[in-house]
Amino acid sequence: MSAKMVCSFLVACAISNQLVASDWKQFRGNDANSVAAGESLPTELSGSTIAWKSPLPGRGLSGPIIVGDKVFVSCSSGYTQDRLHVLCLDAAKGTKLWERQFNALGRTQTHEKMSNATPTMASDGERVFAFFSSNDLLCLSLDGKLLWFRGLGSEFPNASNSLGMSSSPIVIGTTVVVQVESDAESFACGVDTVSGETKWQIERPRAANWTSPTMLPAVGDQPALALLQSSKGITAVEPESGKVMWNFEKGASTIPSATVDQGTVLIPSNGLTVIKPNGMAFEEVWNAGNLGPSTPSPVVVNGMALVVNNSGVLNAGKAGSGERLWQLRLRGPFSSTPIVANGYVYLFNEAGVAFVVKPTEEKGEIVSELDLGETILCSPGAANGALFVRSDKHLFKLANP
């Protein structure tokens, strides 16, 4: 091979890598549905698939996000968890590129299992947004410059929960959508991604709520909507204005969040309820009382709705009808929402054991397991052929060697 050919080959590889490069920009991925579209992740997990393991400066249940060649994750530390950390690591090597710290402005107390760094960060591709249980919402450039800081915990001092807050923000267009809901005070707001100013703010049911907003993608001339879940149900709002488009009022869980799949919304409500929105309205498609999720949110793979119950059992039903297909006993408990990639499901239990499950209509089969040996409560991220997951102590990258 001539030098010219080698050079062309390398350029082609570089372009190819650019083309396949993908991001995981928020809780449960870019479309907030836990699907790593186009990703082919390692299915045979073992010690050799741990590409790197990088120490973290604090605790957290927040999952990592990936933007380009950088991984971002939040942590909290200190006796009162009032130290807020945002870390940026090199996705290829796991080396720390930068770290920024801030002091919490809001209440930092949480249940001992939770941490101030429970909500997962989000990104619009140009900047990252970190949110904490203390309701501190801050925006940094990809190289760590503070662009704005909102102390929603000090602006609204009663909007807190002594057990901790966990709702992860999502970005839709130029709006960061945030839910701040508790027994004492509740609201949701849309914050301008660039300026940090509030575009809109709406009152929400005054009740503890740990769910995260999800996104109903734009279809045709119907714009993308933010779906806000609470014990009352689901409220669909325009992310730009906060205008309420429709309400699903049959109640919903306050822990696992709704998932959108091909224009339908799988709501943890009376088990699992699926609706199909259409403009200002929606129709109920099916309900399955035996498909109720525990803490992890539902996912959809190959026409199957999958939920993890309180006993650590993975339950599968038909996504089109809710008809129960099979059950697979895993070793729970699980706090982490699974990821779906290339027809496989990746689950991490609280003890730090990763399971790769191959689901078919007939059964679910454990393809491989890997014990990472550290408590894992976060939902992982996936990008560029790798899984990223954090414990209280480390951030791991799992990839084929």
Partner 1 sequence: MKRIVSSAVLLFAAATGVSSMCDAADVPAAIQVLRSVEPGGVRTEPARKAVSSLVESGSDALIPILKGFTGASPLAANWLRNAFEEIVAAQTAAGKALPAKELEAFVLDTKQAPVARRLAYETLRSADAAIEARIIPGLLLDPGSEFRRDAVALLIAEAEKAEGPAAVALYRKAMSGAVHEDQVQKIAEALRKAGETVDISRHFGFIPKWMMTGPFDNKEEKGFAVAYAPEKEFESGNPNLAAEYDGQLGKVQWKPIETTDDYGVVDIAKQIENYKGSAMYATTTWKSDKDQTLELRLGTPNAWKIWVNGKLVFEREEYHRSSQMDQYTVPVTLKAGENVISMKICQNEMTQEWAQRYQFQVRVCDQTGSGVLPKE
Residues forming the site for partner 1 (CB under 8 A):
78-79, 98, 100-103, 105, 107, 109, 111, 138, 144-151, 154-155, 157-158, 161-163, 182-184, 191-192, 195-198, 208
Nearer to partner 1 (CB atom), residue 8 or residue 103: 103
Minimum CB distance to partner 1 smaller for 151 or for 317: 151
Please report how close the Cβ of residue 37 comes to partner 1 at its closest, in angstroms. 33
Nearest approach, Cβ of 397 to partner 1 (angstroms)? 24
- By beta-carbon proximity to partner 1, the closer residue of 163 and 366 is 163
What's the min distance (Å) between Cβ of 57 and partner 1? 11
CA 141 vs. chain centroid, Å, equals 20
CB of 130 to partner 1, least distance (A): 12
61, two tokens? 């249940």
Give min distance, CB of 56 to partner 1, in A.
Answer: 16
Which residue, 88 or 234, has its beta carbon nearer to partner 1? Answer: 88
* Minimum distance of partner 1 from residue 326's CB (angstroms): 34
Closest CA to 111 of 308, 371, 295: 295
Residue with smaller CB distance to partner 1, 129 or 348: 129
Q: Pick from 134, 53, 16: which is nearest to 389 by CA?
A: 53
Using an 8 Å Cβ cutoff, are 76 and 116 in contact? yes
Are 214 and 177 within 8 A, CB to CB?
A: no
Nearer to partner 1, 16 or 241 (CB): 241
Nearer to partner 1, 93 or 331 (CB): 93
The CA distances from residue 42 to 107, 344, 345, in Å, are 40, 10, 11
Closest separation in Å from C-beta 398 to partner 1: 29
Q: How far is the CB of 324 from partner 1 (least distance, A)?
A: 31
Residue placing its CB nearer to partner 1 in the complex, 129 or 388? 129
Label residue 135 exposed, middle or buried (CB < 10 Å: 0-12, 13-18, 19+): buried
The tokens describing 114, both together, are: 């939770």
Buried b (16+ CB within 10 A) or exposed e, 285-307: bbbbeebbbbbbbbbbbeebbbb
Q: How far apart are CB 62 and partner 1 at their closest, in Å?
A: 19
End-to-end CA distance of the chain: 26
Question: Which phi and psi (to 5°) does residue 72 adopt?
Answer: -120, 140
Output 191 or 382, the one with its CB closest to partner 1.
191
How many CB atoms neighbour CB 198 within 10 A?
16
